[in-house]
């Protein structure tokens, strides 16, 4: 039995694609960026600054990020939780398992959306200037440290290849959310803990 389950946010707990699309449309209108939403969306799972670097945007990144984040807050009603998310999280808590979130979404928006769930998370990890974002394992390791749990007792649920890479590098088991935004993975480590999870996560 795992003692800690960590979740990615966008595409796993939160259905936020339309919110992202509308925020990116504002970026296109207010900046010189000409990359389509599909190019941006293909890279989600990484911190915003890393996505910009992959898109070849190297200047004025902080202003662009502020435009995007502000617009995303304005359209926050377009981001809703997937069905039965709250029930599933409560079921996991009732099993005596700790919960955490490790996301590439910034802290203000993450806290705003998670507050709607009223769920007790032992750790909420967002991008920071001190640690590397996914696919680096840094925030998964910090979440485990805050929860007081070891990699062998931890499971990460994600939907992007960057999530899988981060889990592998952190030495923890991984479950790929087939309902999420990423492509199915060709190879995922065998998970003996899957049979012990609620049906919503199998």
Give pLDDT, residue 184: 80
Q: Kindly state the average pLDDT of the residues 59-69.
A: 96
Dihedral, 186, 150, 169, 142 alpha carbons, nearest 10: 120
Give pLDDT, residue 185: 74
The residue length of the chain stands at 202
pTM for the whole structure: 0.88
**Residue 197 predicted with pLDDT over 70:** no
What confidence tier does 186 reach under pLDDT thresholds 50, 70, 90? low
Give pLDDT, residue 193: 38
Report the C-alpha gap between 44 and 69 in whole angstroms. 14
Give pLDDT, residue 187: 53
Closest C-alpha among 17, 51, 61, 24 to residue 133: 51
Q: Kindly state the average pLDDT of the residues 153-180.
A: 95
**Residue 145 predicted with pLDDT over 60:** yes
Q: Tell me what the pLDDT averaged over the chain comes to.
A: 91
DSSP letter at 154? E
């Amino acid at each position: 039995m795992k003692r800690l389950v960590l979740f990615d946010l966008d595409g796993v707990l939160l259905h936020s694609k339309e919110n992202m699309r509308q925020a990116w449309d504002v970026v296109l209108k207010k900046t010189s960026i000409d990359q389509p939403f599909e190019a941006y969306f293909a890279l989600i799972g990484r911190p915003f600054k890393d996505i910009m670097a992959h898109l070849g945007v190297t200047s004025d990144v902080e202003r662009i990020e502020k435009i995007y984040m502000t617009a995303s807050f304005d359209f926050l009603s377009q981001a809703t939780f997937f069905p039965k998310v709250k029930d599933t999280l409560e079921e996991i808590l009732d099993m005596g398992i700790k919960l955490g979130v490790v996301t590439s979404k910034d802290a203000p928006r993450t806290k705003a959306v998670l507050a709607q769930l009223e769920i007790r998370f032992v750790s909420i990890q967002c991008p920071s200037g001190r640690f590397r974002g996914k696919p680096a394992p840094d925030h998964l390791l910090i979440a485990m440290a805050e929860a007081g749990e070891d990699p062998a007792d931890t499971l990460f649920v994600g939907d992007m290849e960057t999530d899988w890479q981060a889990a592998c590098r952190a030495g923890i088991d991984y479950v790929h959310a087939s309902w999420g935004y990423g492509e199915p993975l060709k190879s995922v480590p065998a998970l003996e803990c899957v049979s012990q999870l609620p049906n919503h996560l199998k």
